[in-house]
């Protein structure tokens, strides 16, 4: 994570963000939640809202989405 993303993450209180879960998630299932911040995307475990948060820059998130769309993570 870049220094810029670290400083943005430090300035954000995760409980003040709007978190989204996939519409395909099941109630009480193991899922991740996502929230957008200026310049990036945050991810966390939906069952541990006070737990660690992963931060990705817009470029990192875009590269991940390209990989998903191209089937790079298919099993």
**Ordered DSSP codes for the chain:** --HHHHHHHHT--GGGSPPEE-TTPPTT---EEEEEETTEEEEEETT-TTS-EEEEEHHHHHHHHHHHHTTTT--
Identify which has the larger pLDDT, 38 or 1.
38
CA of 26: how far to CAs of 22, 23, 32, 57, 68, in Å?
Answer: 9, 8, 11, 28, 21
Q: pTM of the prediction?
A: 0.76
pLDDT band at 11 (very low <50, low <70, confident <90, very high): confident
Q: Which two tokens stand for residue 39?
A: 């310049």
């Amino acid at each position: 994570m870049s220094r810029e993303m670290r400083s943005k993450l430090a300035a954000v209180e995760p409980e003040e963000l709007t978190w989204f879960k996939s519409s395909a998630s099941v109630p009480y299932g193991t899922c991740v939640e996502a929230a957008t911040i200026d310049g990036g995307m945050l991810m966390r475990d939906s069952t541990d809202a006070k737990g660690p948060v992963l931060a990705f820059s817009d470029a990192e998130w875009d590269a991940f989405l390209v990989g998903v769309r191209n089937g790079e993570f298919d099993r």
